[in-house]
Amino acid sequence: MNGKQGLFVTGTDTGVGKTVIAGALVAALRAEGGNVGVWKPVQTGGLPGDGTTDAELLLKYTGMDSYAEDIASFTFEAPLAPMLAAKQAGLNITLQDILSAGESIRNRYDSVFIEGAGGVAVPITEDASTADLIAELQTSVLIVARSGLGTINHTLLTMEYLERRGISILGFILNDGLSGELCLDPSVETNGRIIEQYSGIPCLGHFPELAGEIDSKRLIHAVQATINLSPVRDALTIRKMEEYR
């Protein structure tokens, strides 16, 4: 990251809440005075400007003063792994293309959250996966996972995959917002502790379900109420606003 501080937000799957939670964490850190931005190296499954792409949602959630095309270096319409979506669009992008395209957004902020597409083993180019991109960027990782039954297996596998490449994992967040019936799932109460016990990696909290319209104010409140931000601030060497005074 060329001396810049970065944190890569990955997930145990696609659709686990990386955009919502990355947006929430960045919004909360910005509300404390941090000059924090976000970068989505490759996004698939939408068109720029259609209002549904991760870059547009991340702008809405964080209140960053940037353009969607600066936040998302490459956008492909097909809802596929980036390597396949690019191929379908007739492009063959390389890891170096992705790293170069993100240079300006990485340089614009003191710290940058980076959101992957799907999980760590997803092919993003012909010969590189998301884990390879993380290794190139030399950032540590935050894992977003579902909070219900099945997450122990998905989260421990994700951790082992990253650790085999020597990538350090800051922690994981369990997202309570993906199933309406979590109260009927007794594993939700114990999953965080069990994953911590088997991995030695800390759970930074359970992110709550946000019913209805998601906006920056609600996201900031959710983070403040449920997430331990200290390890994130430490990793990014961000000080809390009161420490600036």
Ligand X SMILES: Nc1ncnc2c1ncn2[C@@H]1O[C@H](COP(=O)(O)OP(=O)(O)OP(=O)(O)O)[C@@H](O)[C@H]1O
Binding residue ranges = 15-20, 44, 54, 115-118, 175-176, 208-210
Assess 11 for contact with ligand X (CB under 6 A): yes
* Alpha carbon separation from 52 to 19, 43, 59 (Å, rounded): 11, 11, 11
Return the residue matching tokens 């994130």: 232
For ligand X, give the closer residue by CB, 179 or 240.
179
Catalytic position from the list 40, 60, 87, 217:
40
Token pair belonging to 183:
């109260």
- 40 in active site: yes
Does residue 197 contact residue 218 with C-beta atoms inside 8 Å? no
Question: 212-231 mask for ligand X (x: CB under 6 A)?
Answer: --x-----------------
> Which listed residue (207, 220, 227, 235) binds ligand X by CB under 6 A?
207
- How do strand 123-125 and strand 128-129 relate by DSSP bridges? antiparallel
Assess 46 for contact with ligand X (CB under 6 A): no
Assess 27 for contact with ligand X (CB under 6 A): no
Which residue, among 170, 157, 167, has the nearest Cα to 227 in the 3D structure?
A: 170
For ligand DSD, give the closer residue by CB, 6 or 118.
118
Assess 118 for contact with ligand X (CB under 6 A): yes
Residue least distant from Mg ion (Cβ): 19
Does residue 128 contact residue 53 with C-beta atoms inside 8 Å? no
